[in-house]
A and B are shown apart, each in its own frame.
Chain A
């Protein structure tokens, strides 16, 4: 898991707070992803970045705001979240977004978020 790191590992925030999740990949990849994992639900893809450009926004509410300053770093800025946003947020990276080759995605350990 040292290939993709995420901080913080745990976060508790109130609905009026603003916080950010950070992801860093040390694999030399060009694509990065945010996923949401809720209990009893499949992983939900939130955002995809390829070469720093956002290529996918999977109908995510605007209270989640991604930022990708370079191919190694990905942030998820959070503001005015709701209790139902409590989940494990996973970051992943891959060489690129596939082009038909089925690129393997490598995941970080996740940030466990609790919104009160």
Chain B
């Protein structure tokens, strides 16, 4: 069965430091992986996705994610965190049957000045 796990409910980072939000997946076949961000009282905004090709995917707002097939991971990264990056981050895997996106439970990122 397809699944996504975000092992950390919350990540705390100081502004200017690098950040990592972790995601692991379980999928049969080739994985299509996504990251979304949700700001308070807002819908989900698409950040980036991995379909095929280069394992390092660059997305919006300076975020990037690294696909690691051997570790079945797709961690979200940013070299220098901003206070405005504080939000809820969701990893998702695309389930080929019926166009389903299966989401992780979300990770609350808090960036302090």
Binding site for B on A (CB under 8 A): 1, 4, 6, 31, 40-43, 45, 48, 50, 55-56, 90, 92, 94, 96-98, 100-110, 112
- Contact partners of B36 in chain A: CB under 8 A: 107
* Nearest B residue (CB) for A41: B105
Task: Flag if B105 contacts A98 (CB, 8 Å).
Answer: no
The segment from B18-26, B74-82, B91-99 that touches chain A is B91-99
**Nearest CB of chain A from residue B40's CB, rounded to whole Å:** 11
Task: Flag if A102 contacts B100 (CB, 8 Å).
Answer: no
A-B contact pairs, 6 of them (CB 8 A): A41-B105, A90-B43, A97-B98, A100-B96, A104-B46, A105-B101
Option from B43, B51, B102, B106 in Cβ contact (under 8 Å) with A4: B43
Task: Flag if A42 contacts B105 (CB, 8 Å).
Answer: yes
- Contact partners of B32 in chain A: CB under 8 A: 101-102
**Nearest CB of chain A from residue B2's CB, rounded to whole Å:** 12
Option from A100, A102, A107 in Cβ contact (under 8 Å) with B44: A107
Number of A-B residue pairs with CB-CB distance less than 8 Å in the complex they form:
66
Q: How many residues of B contact A (CB 8 A)?
A: 23
Binding site for A on B (CB under 8 A): 32, 34, 36, 41-46, 49, 51, 90, 94, 96, 98-106
Beyond A41-B105, A104-B34, list 17 extra A-B contacts (CB 8 Å). A31-B99, A40-B105, A42-B103, A42-B104, A42-B105, A43-B44, A45-B100, A48-B100, A56-B98, A56-B100, A90-B44, A97-B99, A98-B94, A104-B46, A107-B43, A107-B44, A107-B45
* Nearest B residue (CB) for A112: B41
A100 CA to B95 CA, complexed, in Å: 9
A1 CA to B36 CA, complexed, in Å: 13
A110 CA to B36 CA, complexed, in Å: 15
Most chain-B CB neighbours within 10 Å: which of A102, A109, A112? A102
**Nearest CB of chain B from residue A6's CB, rounded to whole Å:** 8
**Nearest CB of chain B from residue A102's CB, rounded to whole Å:** 3
- Contact partners of B101 in chain A: CB under 8 A: 43, 45, 105
